[in-house]
Chain A
């Protein structure tokens, strides 16, 4: 006698207990602390903060520990936590021109006011596995120098004075807030940028790459890439003016792109823009490429049907929390739907077989006559 399956609750509890044990791994090995993750896996922490849309290195480190290093799972934990936080208000726009740059490079000028600063980068390292790190990393120190208090203006502001770079109109209208309003189309640039900055790094990387390979190619140079700490200011209603409430690390990328001009605009350079929490260089460059590709309409460019030009496609599929949930949900039970499909297929097959069985005086199988060539 068949007895219906029971015990979903117990199975879930058992699975979670097992998962917790696996998370800890071999207990002869010292347990990882969230401090260690925050300090030594900082780029993973940065990605979790950026795509989790919450700037908190300690929480991001905890999420990485809890998720056993599955970064999308960690991002998910941060997003879910973020939902429960009350919102006190919005900050003033970040003034990235005031950034204390750890890194600042331009591919368009050999030198510029403020100079080129390589900063802590993997660039130019030879990607050789360093077996010494496997034993002990030690505590390497880098030489320091007194910081130069000269301002580091944006390369774009220098180009802009000459008129060869299309100015971006300044606006004081409050942009739509993607976390408080549903995404709808057409999406203006502010909404697109919000969506891209939370978007999945891998997805944007692939899309950005596709533009370089000819799917809506936009001839980009990195006008400037800068990484550093930026103050966050917020206007406090009781005070009536803005005060600094803290600082965050951010990566900003402005690409300078070729633009042949249109009926109304003379030839000039245009730009793509990327701004991401933490040191997230790859993501910010990819974001700028995709941002520029999405601007085809306002710039009067041709829509070549490339994925990176299709705002509805890009924005609807860039969020990895939405994507991972829906992709993985097909492992949930679908007995009911499957049963309905099974019944349908069986019936259609029965009918097809019945139709094929030769009836007493059935005509020969219908042959399709091709129409004579025209």
Chain B
């Protein structure tokens, strides 16, 4: 089997400061990988390098493309990369404002990706949008309302629908439950877990919240000061952490 994403020796520097360095891993189809670490650990930099927002200084990010097979996405032309970003990839931002068009209706938000890849039948677009609102538990009669009238949890679910509507194969999620109430978080996590499972989606989830990875991730990578300090199966890492920093991280959560 070919990994859907294979990262080799990735490095990003900000002048003399290290953003992330020496990062290598394979992500297998259908697998969810969690990346945890405190703020400044390099996890967001790493996500930026993977999803194309940042240009790494060194290394390869090889994605198994539907038509061309494994390709280094850093070497793809910009049109191809942008096409990838709206077809095979999904990116869920921590703040839904960054991932939604706040002035466009919920239906339009979900429909945009369809239209950007050529959908030209209003009725079908609307039907698909309705279906997706259903799947993320947003009532049908909110389809023509704008996200600014939605609660934070609804906005986040809408962002997920907007991203998943084109049936991507790989999702990047940046603190998807950050900034939400605990009860809302639980509901959202449940929803994400269901969707990932139903769609056979591969995903990379960046978070500082160990509860999130415990629930979502098959595998875990712990980062500190730009480096991966430990990785392995989620339960294994959380229940029997080897690295001193991971031990601290896990114990600090348990104390709460």
Q: Within 8 Å by CB, do A and B touch in the complex?
A: yes
Residue positions of A touching B, CB distance < 8 A:
263-264, 366, 368-369, 371, 373-374
In-complex Cβ contact of A373 among B14, B142, B151 (8 A): B151
Q: Is B141's CB under 8 angstroms from A371's CB?
A: no
Can you name 23 A-B pairs with beta carbons within 8 Å? A263-B14, A263-B15, A264-B15, A366-B141, A368-B141, A368-B142, A368-B145, A369-B139, A369-B141, A371-B138, A371-B139, A371-B142, A371-B151, A371-B154, A373-B151, A374-B151, A374-B152, A374-B153, A374-B154, A374-B181, A374-B183, A374-B184, A374-B187
Provide the residues of chain A in CB contact with B154, threshold 8 Å. Answer: 371, 374
| Complexed CA–CA distance, A368 and B139 (Å) | 10
The interface centre, meaning the residue of A263, A373, A374 with most chain B CB atoms within 10 A of its CB, is A374
| Complexed CA–CA distance, A241 and B141 (Å) | 78
Residue positions of B touching A, CB distance < 8 A:
14-15, 138-139, 141-142, 145, 151-154, 181, 183-184, 187
Provide the residues of chain B in CB contact with A369, threshold 8 Å. Answer: 139, 141
Which residue of A has the minimal Cβ distance to B137? A371
Provide the residues of chain A in CB contact with B151, threshold 8 Å. Answer: 371, 373-374
Provide the residues of chain B in CB contact with A374, threshold 8 Å. Answer: 151-154, 181, 183-184, 187
Provide the residues of chain B in CB contact with A373, threshold 8 Å. Answer: 151
Provide the residues of chain B in CB contact with A371, threshold 8 Å. Answer: 138-139, 142, 151, 154
Output the least CB separation between A302 and chain B (Å): 15
Which residue of B has the minimal Cβ distance to A368? B141
Output the least CB separation between A368 and chain B (Å): 6
Which residue of B has the minimal Cβ distance to A366? B141
Provide the residues of chain A in CB contact with B187, threshold 8 Å. Answer: 374
Which residue of A has the minimal Cβ distance to B180? A374
Other A-B contacts than A368-B142, A371-B139, 5 sampled, CB-CB below 8 A, are: A369-B141, A373-B151, A374-B154, A374-B181, A374-B183
Output the least CB separation between B129 and chain A (Å): 17
Provide the residues of chain A in CB contact with B141, threshold 8 Å. Answer: 366, 368-369
| Complexed CA–CA distance, A371 and B184 (Å) | 13
Output the least CB separation between B15 and chain A (Å): 5
| Complexed CA–CA distance, A268 and B145 (Å) | 51
| Complexed CA–CA distance, A172 and B177 (Å) | 54
The interface centre, meaning the residue of B14, B151, B152, B181 with most chain A CB atoms within 10 A of its CB, is B151
| Complexed CA–CA distance, A360 and B166 (Å) | 41
**For the complex of A and B, 5 pairs with smallest distance between CB atoms:** A374-B153, A374-B184, A374-B151, A263-B15, A368-B141
Output the least CB separation between A114 and chain B (Å): 41
Provide the residues of chain A in CB contact with B153, threshold 8 Å. Answer: 374
| Complexed CA–CA distance, A374 and B14 (Å) | 40
| Complexed CA–CA distance, A369 and B139 (Å) | 9
Provide the residues of chain A in CB contact with B139, threshold 8 Å. Answer: 369, 371
Provide the residues of chain A in CB contact with B15, threshold 8 Å. Answer: 263-264
Output the least CB separation between B23 and chain A (Å): 23
Provide the residues of chain B in CB contact with A368, threshold 8 Å. Answer: 141-142, 145
| Complexed CA–CA distance, A374 and B150 (Å) | 11
| Complexed CA–CA distance, A366 and B184 (Å) | 28
Output the least CB separation between B25 and chain A (Å): 30
Which residue of B has the minimal Cβ distance to A263? B15
Which residue of B has the minimal Cβ distance to A372? B151
| Complexed CA–CA distance, A368 and B141 (Å) | 7
| Complexed CA–CA distance, A372 and B26 (Å) | 41
Which residue of B has the minimal Cβ distance to A367? B141
Which residue of A has the minimal Cβ distance to B181? A374
Output the least CB separation between B143 and chain A (Å): 11
Which residue of A has the minimal Cβ distance to B184? A374
Provide the residues of chain B in CB contact with A264, threshold 8 Å. Answer: 15
| Complexed CA–CA distance, A366 and B142 (Å) | 12
| Complexed CA–CA distance, A371 and B136 (Å) | 13
Provide the residues of chain A in CB contact with B183, threshold 8 Å. Answer: 374
Output the least CB separation between A355 and chain B (Å): 15
| Complexed CA–CA distance, A373 and B184 (Å) | 10
Which residue of A has the minimal Cβ distance to B152? A374
